[in-house]
Amino acid sequence: MKDMIRIIGIDPGLRRTGWGIIESLGNSLRFVASGTVTSDGDMDLASRLCQLHDGLADVIHTYQPHEAAVEQTFVNKDAVATLKLGQARGIAMLVPARAGLRVAEYAPNAVKKSVIGVGHGEKQQIHMMLKVLMPKAEFKGNDAADALAIAICHAHNRGATASRLAMLAG
């Protein structure tokens, strides 16, 4: 029998970074917790990044996940916003890596396809499928829901991801 794996999914954002934790045992998924780490928009960028770092570090310390998954950044027309999102994403990857977790990355379309079956979909479709896949799941807002979807995507793809990482390292 396979061992239970606890996964944290992270949806990076400078204002709100969503997180969701699930347990995966074979094909079975179980909701553990979800939430959002926020930063104070009135503070300077470095302080906001520290707030995200400290908040995610607390979540990882509290829930002790075994693996992490982070959504890849998309590029938009506003270069400044894209750069800031990239910095928040760096924090979202750094915190679990510093805790000794392997960090996988998934494109937004891969996450949607894994959860709702197609690469493009609305937020409400993700919310609905989360409730189908994990009826006890509780999430407030899109950021926490997206983070749970990222964790589910990793649960469905973690074997392939581990194989790719082993090939790159080897």
- Considering the candidates 23, 67, 143, 146, report the single residue annotated as catalytic: 143
Determine contact, residues 49/88, Cβ cutoff 8 Å: yes
Looking at residue 118, the DSSP 8-state letter turns out to be: S
- Considering the candidates 11, 23, 67, 146, report the single residue annotated as catalytic: 11
Q: Cα–Cα distance between 152 and 60 in angstroms, integer?
A: 17
Per-position b or e across 82-98, b if 16+ CB within 10 A of its CB: eebbebbbbbbbbbbee
Q: Cα–Cα distance between 111 and 77 in angstroms, integer?
A: 22
- Say whether 44 is catalytic: no
Looking at residue 38, the DSSP 8-state letter turns out to be: E
Q: How many CB atoms lie within 10 A of CB 163?
A: 10
- Considering the candidates 23, 67, 71, 146, report the single residue annotated as catalytic: 71
Q: Active-site residues: which are they? A: 11, 71, 143
